[in-house]
Amino acid sequence: MERARTPTPVEELTQIGGHRCLDLANTLVAAEPPRDSLTGIEDFRAWASRAGIAVEPSSDPGSDAAALRRVRALRDAIRAIAASTVAGRPCPPEAAEALTEAAARSFRSRRLGPKPGGIGWHRVRRDLDSATDLLAMEAAALFADADGLRLKRCSGAHCGWFFIDRSRNGSRRWCSMADCGNRTKARRHRARQRAEE
């Protein structure tokens, strides 16, 4: 009997998705039982920092708790959209609506402003909620223009992480060859040895 797996601490999560919103999706492993690495506000703060999203300290626990609920809801929508994309199915309407609403809300914390050669989006707040705004905008941009996107899901047992396959021949199967790939190959090798006995 396999022992229960515990969530990987945020500080140890490998960012293999190829896009920040996929790395956010990968903070939850939908195994039995599910393993959620994003369980508290400090987990979200640490994850944002590792993902390169500047977040300032907060003195408002209520708004931080709301931001955590909101980023977890965004993560659920991203996971549903990614799963349907990988499976070649239409996106669940509720997930599309959740992402639409989150992306529309993102205008509260960003403005267009000058940059070299033109204009670009600039964050005007640096709280946890604005980090969710940024992720919602990036996820909407990724999925709305997904033609030709080689989005895949790790085929390793007890994993299911999402990633963009940027391999030359499009043959990537695992989140990491060093992790799920080696475990899968070792499991197959043991099964062959038992079959030969």
Q: Quote the pLDDT of residue 187.
A: 54
Whether residue 128 is predicted with pLDDT greater than 60 in this model: the reply is yes
Are 123 and 109 in contact by the 8 Å Cβ rule? The answer is: yes
Asked if the model's pLDDT at residue 182 lies above 70, the reply is no
**Amino acid of residue 9:** P
Burial of 13 (0-12, 13-18, 19+ CB in 10 A): buried
Domain boundaries, the chain: 10-196
Q: Which two tokens stand for residue 144?
A: 């709305």
What is the tens place of the pLDDT at every residue in 93-127? 999 999 999 999 999 999 999 999 999 999 999 99
Q: Kindly report the CATH class assigned to 10-196.
A: mainly alpha
pLDDT averaged over the chain?
87
Residue 191 has what pLDDT?
52
What's the confidence (pLDDT) of residue 6?
Answer: 79
Instruction: Give the model's pLDDT for residue 196.
Output: 62
CA dihedral 141, 31, 159, 197 (to 10 degrees): -160
Q: Which two tokens stand for residue 96?
A: 């599309």
- For 58-70, what is each residue's pLDDT tens digit? 888 899 999 999 9
CA dihedral 119, 135, 44, 28 (to 10 degrees): -160
- Given a cut of 50, whether residue 153 has pLDDT beyond it is yes
Asked if the model's pLDDT at residue 1 lies above 60, the reply is no
pLDDT at 95: 98
Task: Give per-residue pLDDT as tens, 164-173.
Answer: 999 888 878 8
